[in-house]
Amino acid sequence: MTETEDVLRQRIADLEAQLAATPFIPALPTEHDGEPITWRDWEEAPIILCAWAGDLNACQACDHPGPSLLAFGLAGPGKPRIRFNAHRCPGCQEMRAYQRVYDKYRVGTELKEIAYSAPRTIARPESGR
């Protein structure tokens, strides 16, 4: 290894450490369709244990083992309810925010993506997952 290479490797290591020390956390949307959203703090998402579906906790973008982070957004009309939720990877900070769409004729909730923030690290090569 040449001296220049050593200097450059050290510089890259210093910059990586600097980046890791100041992670970029994407901002959550403050409103949707004119309705203001109040977000609760980010918390660790529950770990999903499902032998058939494979590992659902790892990040698809950077392979962080998880758990991912979860935040709930409250909005009206009327008494604020949980009408939004967001997921964020603690490794690459990829973030998706969803509106929870309730349909009285269907069981459960449909999630409609309203915001996306791309990963901050280089995506791992496709492994067919």
List of residues contacting Zn ion (CB under 5 A) = 59, 61-62, 64, 89, 91-92
For residue 84, what are the contacts with CB-CB under 8 A and spacing of at least 6? 32, 37, 39, 72, 73, 74, 75, 97, 98, 99, 100, 114
Q: Which helix (H) or strand (E) holds 69?
A: strand 69-75
- The nearer residue to Zn ion, 73 or 91, going by C-beta atoms, is 91
- The nearer residue to Zn ion, 35 or 63, going by C-beta atoms, is 63
Closest separation in Å from C-beta 91 to Zn ion:
4
Closest separation in Å from C-beta 105 to Zn ion:
36
Closest separation in Å from C-beta 100 to Zn ion:
23
**Nearest alpha carbon to residue 91 among 116, 60, 54:** 60
- The nearer residue to Zn ion, 37 or 62, going by C-beta atoms, is 62
How many Cα atoms are found within 13 Å in the side-chain-facing hemisphere of 99? 16
Closest separation in Å from C-beta 65 to Zn ion:
10
What residues form DSSP beta bridges with 73? 39, 84
- The nearer residue to Zn ion, 8 or 123, going by C-beta atoms, is 123
